[in-house]
Amino acid sequence: MVQQTPAFFIADTLGLDFLNSIATPVDTEVDWVEDGDGLLAWLEQARLVPPHVLATLREQALPGELDTVAAQARTLREEFRGFVRTHMGKPLSPEDLPELASLNRLLARDEGFLQVVAAEQEDPPGLRIRATRRWRSPDSLLLAIGEALARSLTEEDFSHIKVCEGPTCTLMFADHTRGRVRRWCSMALCGNRAKQAAHRNRHRKGAGATA
């Protein structure tokens, strides 16, 4: 079943956004890739796979095939949620490579190639080179996720990877703020709740002092 709530893209890096595709926005856990439809919806929101590719794979998939790929995506997600939680707070090093063997096996399946294309509308006119891939089957969708994970692992300083300080929040993010002072997944979510809780606490203390 496709989740009606839009997925969270608050991590400032798509690899962590994928790890955040399971979360507890309020009181109930939501899994945006709980089945094949959910996986396709998340990939479209993340803009990791062109919409026409998703439509084609949906049409061509055998019954249950997309659900199987979604299950593989969830396994990959849990593996790397554990990896990030273990290694966050310090830079990654070559000694960590053995733990990434499964990711490298996934990336080795890629059929990527380069194309010369027209510039996007928002760019200066001209030609550009663009990396793309052959999407031969639904399980090729995992390659887009694997690439996003690989980019986060290699482009982000793990010293600045954090978990939101909300008491029940599990969302992770790369802290790109000046001074690395970010504490919350979002000020609209946990940041606002923390402000409200602090206000209630001050109010109770003030009421107690005047009693």
pLDDT in tens, 108-164: 999 999 999 998 888 888 999 999 999 999 999 999 999 999 999 999 999 999 999
77 within a domain of the structure (yes/no): yes
Angle between helices 65-87 and 141-155 (to 10 degrees): 10
- Whether 5 is in a domain gets the answer no
Structural domain range at position 190 = 14-92+149-210
Give 126's Cβ-side CA count (13 Å radius).
4
Model pTM score? 0.86
Query: Is the pLDDT confidence value at 92 over 90?
Result: yes
Q: How far is CA 65 from CA 5, 68, 137, 162, 205, in A?
A: 24, 5, 10, 35, 57
Residue 124 domain-assigned (yes or no): no
Q: Report how many domains make up the chain.
A: 1
What token pair was written down for 193? 């709740």
**134 located within any domain:** no
Residue 207 pLDDT more than 80? no
Q: How many CB atoms lie within 10 A of CB 84?
A: 20
Distances (CA, A) of 88 to 84, 93, 161, 162, 211: 5, 12, 5, 7, 46
pLDDT for position 188: 78
